[in-house]
């Protein structure tokens, strides 16, 4: 039988090998799921680059400097209505249970047309599109920071409403059944805008002969019901189903083009004040006016704000209406905000409870005349009746968090 004999040199090599195996086995460990990093600053300290005479309030923003827009990471105060308090990612409701792939997808959607602050981070994100979720999550947690949005008075709860894109039957010409026009901006309105003046009220536009003459050649399409026109004016856009030839339906989109610059007044509030209805949904308003047709004109004239439109063929039905940033809105992702509080092109985390529970990432991609305030958002629900049913019931509390690259501090 052959017996292996070790020379002293063999024993030395064998001992070194055992030692190296032991060292490497102790150093190796299974990769851990990334944890949420703590933020160094106190979560009770508002981030602000300028102070007014009132404690805890930021000075009105003069807008970003050219360097800030170029670099995307300079410190500047971009809000005159809000404070932003740094918080832990754990403070964002449902963040930890939301799939990373969904959050990453929403952030990339924001990168299609981001605020300049976000541009450098978008460049870093794109190469990581094919990375695994753990790597993407590590990047988010290390490179981004969440801020709770507060009013200058320190309130952190505001109001969430919702809007949608209705669908109406329409005609390109006035005829029986289609008698209520939507208009393109008239020359007189455009001249007033150049001077910075408001134009005539809704009542004036619909009753003064001189204005009717000016609008005579501005009609884009005609709807079946005056309340449909009001709904279109409130929502800001609609899909119009127009019978171009007998039996041939073509879809168009009516999009916001201009307004008379008078303040929006709620027709629902007016009807409540008159005791005409207790149901302030569009269905409730329509039912009340059907019972009281003598009040229709006064009800509509209670809102002096008037909207003018552009009309275009609908080439891709999957795309939403164009928002304030010039890109299509996405259902249950886009929100309208007050740009004096939240800049456009920003990812936000939203929490709202009421008729619906909404806890998710959204994108600030639109604005609206009635959307004013530091903690205020209008949630785009999509197109058609189902979206309208959802939007009509949403008027509930709101909490917002702004997501920013860590390189930038508001």
Please give the model's pTM, rounded to 2 decimal places: 0.79
Cα gap 340→152, rounded to integer Å: 12
Tell me if residue 306 falls in helix, strand or coil: coil
The pLDDT of residue 380 is 98
pLDDT tens across 26-46, in order?
Answer: 333 333 333 333 333 333 444
Query: Which H or E run includes 238?
Result: strand 237-245
pLDDT tens across 287-305, in order?
Answer: 999 999 999 999 999 999 9
The pLDDT of residue 370 is 86
Average pLDDT of the residues of the chain: 84
Q: What secondary structure letter does DSSP report for 38?
A: P
> Among all chains, which residue has been given the structure tokens 């004013």?
372
- Six-digit token pair at 114? 């981001």
Query: Which H or E run includes 193?
Result: helix 187-195
pLDDT tens across 211-255, in order?
Answer: 999 999 999 999 999 999 999 999 999 999 998 778 889 999 999
- Six-digit token pair at 384? 């058609």
Cα gap 208→211, rounded to integer Å: 5
Return the CATH number of the domain spanning residue range 162-313: 2.40.240.50
Band of residue 408 on the pLDDT scale cut at 50, 70, 90 = confident
Tell me if residue 106 falls in helix, strand or coil: helix
Q: What residues contact 218, with CB distance under 8 A and at least 6 apart?
A: 183, 184, 185, 186, 308
């Amino acid at each position: 039988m052959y017996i292996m004999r070790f020379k002293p040199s063999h024993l030395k090599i064998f001992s070194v090998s055992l030692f190296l195996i032991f060292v490497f086995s102790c150093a190796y460990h299974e990769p851990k799921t990334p944890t949420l990093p703590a933020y160094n600053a106190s979560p009770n300290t508002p981030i602000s680059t300028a102070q007014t005479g009132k404690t805890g309030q930021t000075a009105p923003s003069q807008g970003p400097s050219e360097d800030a827009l170029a670099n995307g990471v300079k410190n500047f105060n971009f809000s005159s209505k809000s404070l932003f308090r740094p918080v832990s990612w754990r403070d964002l409701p449902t963040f930890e249970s939301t799939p990373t792939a969904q959050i990453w997808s929403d952030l990339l959607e924001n990168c299609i047309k981001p605020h300049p602050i976000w541009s450098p981070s978008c460049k870093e994100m794109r190469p990581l599109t094919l990375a695994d979720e753990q790597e993407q999550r590590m990047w988010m947690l290390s490179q981004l920071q969440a801020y709770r949005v507060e009013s200058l008075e320190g309130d952190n709860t505001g109001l969430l409403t919702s809007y949608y894109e209705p669908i109406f039957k329409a005609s390109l010409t006035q005829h029986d059944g289609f008698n209520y026009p939507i208009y393109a901006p008239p020359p007189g309105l455009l001249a007033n805008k150049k001077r910075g003046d408001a134009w005539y009220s809704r009542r004036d536009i619909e009753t003064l002969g001189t204005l009717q003459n000016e609008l005579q050649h501005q009609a884009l399409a005609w709807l079946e019901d005056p309340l449909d026109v009001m709904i279109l004016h409130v929502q800001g856009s609609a899909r119009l189903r127009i019978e171009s030839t007998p039996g041939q339906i073509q879809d168009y989109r009516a999009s916001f083009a201009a307004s008379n610059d008078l303040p929006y007044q709620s027709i629902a509030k007016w009807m409540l004040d008159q005791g005409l209805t207790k149901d302030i949904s569009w269905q409730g308003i329509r039912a009340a006016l059907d019972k009281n047709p003598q009040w229709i004109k006064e009800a509509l004239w209670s809102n002096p704000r008037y909207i003018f439109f552009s009309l275009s063929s609908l080439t891709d039905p999957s795309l939403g209406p164009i928002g304030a940033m010039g890109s299509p809105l996405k259902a249950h992702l886009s929100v309208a905000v007050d740009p004096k509080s939240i800049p456009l092109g920003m990812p936000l985390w939203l929490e709202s409870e009421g008729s619906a529970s909404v806890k998710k990432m959204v994108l600030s991609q639109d604005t609206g005349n009635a959307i004013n305030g530091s903690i205020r958002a209008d949630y785009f629900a999509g197109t058609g009746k189902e979206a309208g049913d959802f939007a009509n019931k949403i008027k509930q509390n709101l909490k917002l968090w702004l997501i920013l690259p860590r390189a930038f501090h508001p």
